[in-house]
Amino acid sequence: MNRSQVAQAILQIQKARVLVVGDLILDEYVLGAASRLSPEAPVPVVEVGEIRLFPGGAANVAKNAARLGAQTLLIGVIGADQDGERLQASLQNQSNLTTQLIVDPDRPTTKKTRVVASGHQVVRFDHEVRRGLSAKVAAQVVAQVDDHLAAGPRALVLSDYQKGVLCPEVLRPTIDGARARGLPCVVDPKLKDLSAYRGATVVTPNLAEACAAVGAELGTPTRQLLGPLLAALGGASVLVTEGEAGMTLQVPGDDPVHLPARLRPVFDRTGAGDTVVAVLSAALAAGIGLKEAAELANVAAGVAVSKPGVVAIDPEELLLEFEA
C-alpha cells in the first residue's frame, strides 16, 4: 500500500463501527532507578519515581481501534475493587470509545504490575483469577453482546487472554451471533485448541501459540504450521504474528502471504498483539480486504513495539510509516 491508499483506508476506518469483547487488564508500570543491591537478598533495590496505568488486554484493543477513528464499543468484566475503578477511569473521555463494563463482585480486576528499573523490566506481578465466569455473569455478557450486535457494528473482536471472560458459554454464542449477521469476526486466541474459535473470520496466534496449537516444536517454520492451523480452524483464515520476522497470512485456498517487519529498534513488545488485532478489525469493519488490512496491522505493530508501555497508534503515525 502507498501513502494515498493508506490515507483512503483511514478515512474508511473513521466511518466504521467495531465491537470488542474480552478480558480486561489494568497494566501498571512502576518506574524507577536501581543503583544498589538489597542487603536482605541479592536483588536490586528500585527507588520508585513514577507509577503509570494503562488499559490493557481487550481494553487496549478497543483503545487502539478508537484511536484510529473507528466508533468502538467495549464489553468486558471488572471486579468490585479499586483496580476496576482505575481501569474504568483510564477509559473515560476517550474519543470514539464507549464501554459496557459488567461488575463481578466474586472476582478481582485483572492487573499486571511491571517493575521497570533504569529502562529494564525487573519483575512482573499478576493479580488475577483465571476461572470462567459464573453462569449469571456469562449470561449478562451474552445479553450485552446480543443487544449490541443487533445495533449494527461492522466487525467483532474477541480478545482472549484466558482470564475467564471468553468461556465457552460466552465464546460460542458470540461467534455464532456475528456469523449469523455476516460480520467479520477477528479472534486473538489463547486456547491451545483452536477449534473453539471455529466460525471466526480470522484468528491471529503468535508463533508460540501456533506451534502449541498443532503440537509442533518452537522454531518450526511458519509455513509448516499453516495447513494444520487451517484444519483446526475449519474455514477461518489465520494470521501468524512472528515478532521481528513480521507476520504470515493464510487464507483458505490461497497461497500464504508473508509480510516482513520493518527494521526499527524494539523498546517494548507489550500490547503489540492488541495493536495488530485492533487495526486488522477496524480495517475489515471499513470494508478493506484482508491482505491490505494485515499490511496495515503489520506496520502499526512495528510502531507499537518502538514505544514504551501499552500504546495506541494514531492515524498520522501510520501515514508517516508508509511514507518512510
Q: Is 274 an annotated catalytic residue?
A: yes
267: which strand partners? none
31: which strand partners? 50, 116
Work out the burial of residue 5: count CB atoms within 10 Å of its CB; fewer than 13 is exposed, 13-18 middle, 19 or more buried. middle
Grid cell digits, residue 194: 483452536
In 10 A of CB 212, how many CB atoms?
Answer: 16
Q: Do the bridges between strand 44-57 and strand 155-159 make them parallel or antiparallel, or are there none, so unpaired?
A: unpaired
Q: Which of 27, 83, 268, 274 does the annotation list as catalytic? A: 274
Grid cell digits, residue 48: 520508585
Which DSSP category does 41 fall into? S
CA 241 to chain centre: 12
Crossing angle of helices 58-67 and 82-91, rounded to 10°: 10
In 10 A of CB 135, how many CB atoms?
Answer: 10
Instruction: Compute CA distances 260 → 110, 233, 283, 306, 319, whole Å.
Output: 33, 24, 19, 16, 18
Task: Indicate which residues carry an active-site annotation.
Answer: 274
